[in-house]
Amino acid sequence: MAQQHRAERAAEHGRRFEHLIDEHAQVLHLLDDAAALRGLARRVREETGAHIGLAGPVEAEQMLVLRQWNGTWATGLHDLHVAMGRGLGGLAAAERRPVWVADYCASELITHDFDIPISADGIKTMLAVPMVRAGRVQGVVYAAMREVSYFGGRQLDAAVHLADSGGLALQTASAARRQREQAAAAERRRIAAELHDSVGARLFRIGAELRDLRTHADSDSTELLDRLASLEDQLAETASAFRDSVHALDHDEPVGGLASALSRDCAAFQRRTGTSAQAVEIGQIPDCGQHRTRVLVAAAREALLNVEKHAGARSVLISTIALDGGVAISVADDGNGWSEPAGNGIGLRTTADRLAELGGTLSVVANEDGGLTVRIWIPLP
């Protein structure tokens, strides 16, 4: 009897854990537009029975870009740019209503700018639904069939529901991104102002004293005058470097703290690789202390390095959350997975050992929709 009770409790804990994981994934989708779009492309296939699911946001210059796909054969539709009013998705976005065609390449309803990539994937019947939020088209979600077919009311309702949730996710992700950027900018300005007021003032005072010494020095003391002139030159170089540093602080990523460090690493990763990367915080993150922060940041950097070397990913998301009396970081990519040596390489083994010294853990798990996630956890003291 006791054994059965323990088994039931274990099953209940398992269900609760899976529920929390699902909720966590939903929150991530609300904060990360790449994850939201990837989920839309997958779910539109599952819920409409389509062969292909596509999803893309409206980006700069009102251009729709197909950023995520599921079920494609070819690559012509990958990252395809669609102008407003062009093709099926451009028409749906321009008219802000669902549009579908039974035979894409033969339809007189749409323009045929994209017949070549459409034909390469064998697409016949296609549905496009705009993601509209707050009076603005956020993007478009597509369902496509490789046969002449028909989208019934149930399928259309499912696609419209997905488009509604996708519009909310893109709007929320955009707002979260603006908030992070504003917070980071405020922190950079604060640090720059403090440096300007303290170090800058000290450099100015030293320079003034050197000039005064040189002015009142004995003109016969050539050696002293030469040394003073040399010090002035060195001080001018130091002041120039200091001004450059303050300028960089006021116009680039912040320094200090776990969130700032992870954001800076994501920005550097994106500049270096061209792969989309961002860091998000889920809820309030407690202060880890300087040493634990260094270990966590080093672990996240090692995970990013493996993504860069082995994953072939299109996007990376680093999320941080307070969990089980500690701080957890997940580094999730949508790539092809790592090879066995990469997942068990010396870098990750060394990182796991450093985490273990503080009671922490590191694990690598496969994502259901492709790619891998490195899970990092460290307890708070």
Maximum mean pLDDT: which of 68-82, 211-225, 227-241, 339-353: 68-82
Q: For residue 360, give both structure tokens.
A: 């922490």
Cβ 160 vs Cβ 98: under 8 Å: yes
Which of 179, 358, 201, 169 minimizes the C-alpha distance to 263?
Answer: 179
How large is the average pLDDT for residues 211-217? 71
3-state secondary structure 94-115: HHCCCEEECCHHHCCCCCCCCH
Q: State pLDDT tens for residues 86-145.
A: 999 999 999 999 999 999 999 999 999 999 999 999 999 999 999 998 888 999 999 999
φ, ψ dihedrals at 226, nearest 5°: -65, -40
Integer CA distances (angstroms), 147 to 107, 121, 328, in order: 14, 11, 46
Cβ 143 vs Cβ 152: under 8 Å: no
Give the type of residue at 199: V
Q: For residue 235, give both structure tokens.
A: 């001080």
Q: State pLDDT tens for residues 270-306.
A: 887 888 898 888 888 888 888 888 899 989 988 988 8
Predicted local confidence at residue 288, as pLDDT: 84
d(CA 190, CA 178) in angstroms, rounded, equals 18
Place of tokens 């030293």: 206
d(CA 337, CA 269) in angstroms, rounded, equals 18
What percent of the chain shows pLDDT beyond 70?
73
d(CA 173, CA 57) in angstroms, rounded, equals 12
Cβ 275 vs Cβ 313: under 8 Å: yes
pLDDT of residue 313 exceeding 70: yes
pLDDT of residue 84 exceeding 90: yes
Q: State pLDDT tens for residues 217-238.
A: 666 667 777 777 777 777 666 6
Query: What average pLDDT does the chain have?
Result: 81
